[in-house]
Structure 1
Amino acid sequence: MNWGPCPADVASPTLQCASLEVPLDYQHPDGQKITVEISRLPSTDPAKRRGVLLFNPGGPGGPGLAFPSTWANSGAPASLLAEYDLIGFDPRGVDHSTPVSCDLRPDQLVLAPKYAHNREEVVQASATAKQIARQCADSASAPILPYITTANTARDMDQIRAALGEQKISYFGLSYGTYLGGVYASLFPDRTDRFVLDSVVGPSGVDATTARRFGQGMQDRFPDFAKWAAARNSSYGLGATPAEVTENFFKLADKLDQHPAGGIDGSLFRLGTHSLTYQTLLFPRLAQTWQALLNGQAVPAGLLRPAATNSEQSQRSTMISVLCGDNAWPRQISTYQRNVAHDRAKYPMLGGAAANVWPCAHWAKEPLEPPVQFSDQGPSNLLLVQNLRDPATPLSGALETRAAFGDRARMVTVDQGGHGVSLPYLNGCGFNAVADYLVHGTRPDTDKFCGSEANSGRKLTPQQQQAADKIMNRLRQY
């Protein structure tokens, strides 16, 4: 590898970058090539270096070049930084790798469907989704899009392993990154060392079932915010009891459905509230947003959703390609109408959006290969870590993945809400389980449960806070 400076938007004093050519189509490895951009944060003590630790921070479509530095700055122990070269990469289709574009307009960058209150609004969402799918099919990237899949990204990871001269890789994946890690562990089981999957997607990947689980996740997690806000009613005025806070959620959503304020309608309010429950650290931001909306004040830009970046076009286009290229989604609008009616009743906060029509219902191409199946055949070296009340990847999906891997995996379940376990300021028990495994190879003999911790919301150093903001903004993108 020819390491050199990283692009200006991801540069840090210790981060190095390089480009790697990989096949567009692994069925024809001598055909067209694309590039994957890689970053490296070298081991702080080469004498103690075990190997390489690859990262994927989620998505699909999440950029990963800067993540090694971000994760190191979040409070990773010195022993871990000595143990590995930390390796990040922009997956195929994203940012500094060969990028793709569906020529999305700014208003199309929020991919999650609108909340449907009735059958007709499902039809309207279908028309919106169909337009996005048509733009992808008509774009200059159209010939590449069918190959932007999780299986091919996992094959790219193996090309990275080979280029680094490693027999095996260790891996840390967040959110969608857990599915990518599971696919790699299924395609290349003998090339895996220590694998950590944090906030676990179900074994089918990001398909219609996973999308619908957003509704379940919101319903599981929201009581944590309602309790938090009720305890601070004197500061925010959102309700004196959790029940009053919950009632105000529905009142605000209904009000904004009828009279959007400052570009925020009921759907964006629901989605934004959901994304701001990803960490308890974000609760004050969510409470400030509600407070402004209740008082008829302008909501500061970026509170409900992170501000769009210049690279968001490729990230969103990659997300669509992976969602639609990994799995065949239902094509009949009546299927979505039934699902919306069911989930709107069962998960009223978000079910009417999560079960609605995504662009994959109108995708021009069928998947080029069947989804990779997880199995219990392979080395026992997977550690899954999962919050009980995860708003994005609920426990139900994690349990399915745990069952699919059988004795290959152990799972640490943490009694807390939020999306993400492996940060030192969230839950010491959960973080220590990850650190002990990555540094020492110590994995629980059986599945483990971590209780809640009173100091989970303790004050961070400025460096940790900056790293936390970057990670959380990345995770809460739709």
Structure 2
Amino acid sequence: MGRRVRDNEAGGMTSCRGIKVRRALLWALSGALTAATLGVAAPFARAVDGARGETGAPAPQLTWRACARADGPAGQECAELPVPLDYRDPAGPQVALAVSRVRSDRPAARRGTLLVVPGGPGGSGVDRLTQRAPALQRQLAGAYDLVGFDPRGVGGSSKAGCGLDAGDRELVTLRSWPAADGRIAENTARARRIARSCARHGGALVRSMSTANEVRDIERLRAALGERKLSVWAVSYGTYVAAVYAQTHPERTDRWVLDSNGDPDPARVERGWLANMAQGADDRFPDFAAWAADPARAPDGLRLAARAAEVRPLFLALAAELDRWPKPSNVPGTPLTGNRLRQAMQSALYGDATAFARLAALVRAARDPAATPQLPADVAGPLPDADAAVTIATLCNDVAWPRDPDAYRRAVAVDRVRHPLTAGMPANVTPCAFWPDRPADPPVRITDRGPANVLMVQNLRDPATPYSGARKMRAALGARARLVTVDHGGHGVYLANGNACADRTVTGYLRDGRWPARDAYCAG
């Protein structure tokens, strides 16, 4: 397999559930858990035309082992895929990617392989496959072998850390929330410190974490699976990965589903996605406000106001009060600050009524002098070092960011006025401003050149990848794509929010090839 890069992850002293939630919510929404353990060998996939990857060399063999989990599908298998640390040196050091598969249980109906591409950056495809395979099996009726993988740096794949202090690995600090008065001096100092630590401790693996290399790794995986073409269900950040793959390997694409899409502007990429979160929160918050003002919340003590219009000013006033006087929480040494409340809000907007209930309970406890706020897991402690590293590195390795801290200071001042819910965070400085290495690969421009086989699905009120950005992806793809707009809030559409129209449309395309004749709309 070649030499494997060693794992130097430094874990945090936090609960497994807390780590999972914070990892999932770092930039978009996609859980990243540890990969499955490896068990009994199974035969390698058949060799077919095109069984060569990015380097042109014969694809490596995958040695499949049983790795079924109690909470996953029966018959789940796992393997390791060796990929070059640096594709310019394909015979050099290798890193290992964790791969998992659930075979079609109806061989006569099998069409090919459906690859589940995770979000993040930092999401685990192995974990997403484990969670979603039973539902996919019911929906797709044996049309595919289902495959997921952990990108380099994630889950069961080779990992490296940045050696960050625990305080620099919290979600509320990795996302640069400005000070109460809008100053960003502390954010700037932390961003410099993180970039310096990643350069010192991250090594070649951290420098290799990028969309370009994930696309190369997928092409190597396709060849190792022995497939001429892949079908894809990609979510969140994964939609950009899948769009780049389709742009660079159009002949290798079969049925392509992009779920919860960002703006593919090659001049900005992740910079644009982060900035768009301000509008995303504004789009989604009214759903929470309506929920929290509903009289049905009263029996549970979660009704925050008599009218939905009162919830936003109530929330903004509470956050400002906590800026001045943080309140002790259930986590010793970690008070509920205004920014922790804002981050808890942003995280809750990704989800459903359960997430709304947690946020409403936090607001009620923060306003009650006799109550102790119970911090949600995503703001209660640090991420493991390796999880923080993979997210930071991908953002910074994909595209060049402005270097002048004053530019961020000015942008934050404007954004705080336009979008007070997010208080300037989406426009603020990140470690990418001080990243020592320039991107090794220029961002790919997504175009309308390629087969007409892309189905996009998008919630109207997505807080992480707002509808305005998805429309830009739709415009870039042109006649190659169809967009299904879903009148729903939250992040994630297919098999995620119970919209039967959207689920039926995606299933009909993946299973039966029913591609809509035009863009479509699904009512909530």
Q: Same fold (TM over 0.5)?
A: yes
Match of 1:457 in 2: none
1:185-334 paired onto structure 2 within 5 Å: 185-204=246-265, 206-232=269-295, 234=298, 235-261=301-327, 262=329, 263=334, 264-281=336-353, 282-296=355-369, 297-303=371-377, 305=379, 312-334=384-406
CA contact (8 A) 1:11 1:66 kept: no
Match of 1:137 in 2: 199
Match of 2:410 in 1: 338
Match of 2:151 in 1: 91
Deviation of residue 353 (structure 1)?
1.1
Distance 1:330 1:295 in 2: 43
Match of 2:10 in 1: none
Distance 1:418 1:8 in 2: 28
CA contact (8 A) 2:447 2:476 kept: yes
- CA RMSD, Structure 1 to Structure 2 (Å): 2.0
Counterparts in 2 of 1:84 and 1:8: CA distance versus 1, 3 Å? closer
CA contact (8 A) 1:24 1:144 kept: yes
Aligned-pair identity in percent equals: 42
Deviation of residue 81 (structure 1)?
4.8
Distance 1:442 1:77 in 2: 18
CA contact (8 A) 1:93 1:318 kept: yes
In the alignment, which of 162, 171, 179 is matched to residue 102 of structure 1? 162
Distance 1:340 1:401 in 2: 26
- Indicate the larger mover: 205-214 or 175-184: 205-214
What 5-or-longer segments of structure 1 have no aligned partner?
453-478
Distance 2:108 2:98 in 1: 27
Cα deviations by residue, 1:233-281 (Å, 9 ceiling, x for unpaired): 5232411111221121112111211122222211111111011011223
Cα deviations by residue, 1:102-129 (Å, 9 ceiling, x for unpaired): 122332222111134545x212211111
Cα deviations by residue, 1:182-229 (Å, 9 ceiling, x for unpaired): 111111111011111111011037422211111110011101110111
Match of 1:473 in 2: none
Cα deviations by residue, 1:136-185 (Å, 9 ceiling, x for unpaired): 0110x322222110011011011111001000001111110111111111
Deviation of residue 11 (structure 1)?
7.1
Deviation of residue 351 (structure 1)?
4.3
What 5-or-longer segments of structure 2 have no aligned partner?
1-61
Deviation of residue 308 (structure 1)?
5.9
Match of 2:503 in 1: 431
Deviation of residue 304 (structure 1)?
5.1
TM-score w.r.t. the length of structure 1 is 0.89
Provide the secondary structure at the position in 2 that maps to 1:278.
coil
Match of 1:66 in 2: 127
Distance 2:78 2:86 in 1: 24
Distance 1:229 1:77 in 2: 36
Distance 1:80 1:314 in 2: 35
Counterparts in 2 of 1:436 and 1:239: CA distance versus 1, 3 Å? same
Distance 2:515 2:317 in 1: 47
Match of 1:76 in 2: 136
CA contact (8 A) 1:63 1:315 kept: no
Distance 1:67 1:279 in 2: 16
Provide the secondary structure at the position in 2 that maps to 1:4.
strand
Residue identity matched to 1:132: I
Match of 1:472 in 2: none
CA contact (8 A) 1:63 1:89 kept: yes
Match of 2:81 in 1: 20
TM-score w.r.t. the length of structure 2 is 0.82
- Indicate the larger mover: 263-272 or 109-118: 109-118
Distance 2:309 2:506 in 1: 36
Distance 1:177 1:322 in 2: 12
CA contact (8 A) 1:40 1:86 kept: yes
Distance 1:351 1:245 in 2: 17
In the alignment, which of 428, 435, 443 is matched to residue 356 of structure 1? 428
Provide the secondary structure at the position in 1 that maps to 2:518.
coil
Counterparts in 2 of 1:171 and 1:351: CA distance versus 1, 3 Å? farther
Residue identity matched to 2:281: M
Distance 1:8 1:133 in 2: 37
Does 2:176 match 1:113? yes
Distance 2:496 2:109 in 1: 22
Distance 1:425 1:328 in 2: 35
CA contact (8 A) 1:116 1:353 kept: no
CA contact (8 A) 1:5 1:11 kept: no
Counterparts in 2 of 1:81 and 1:134: CA distance versus 1, 3 Å? farther
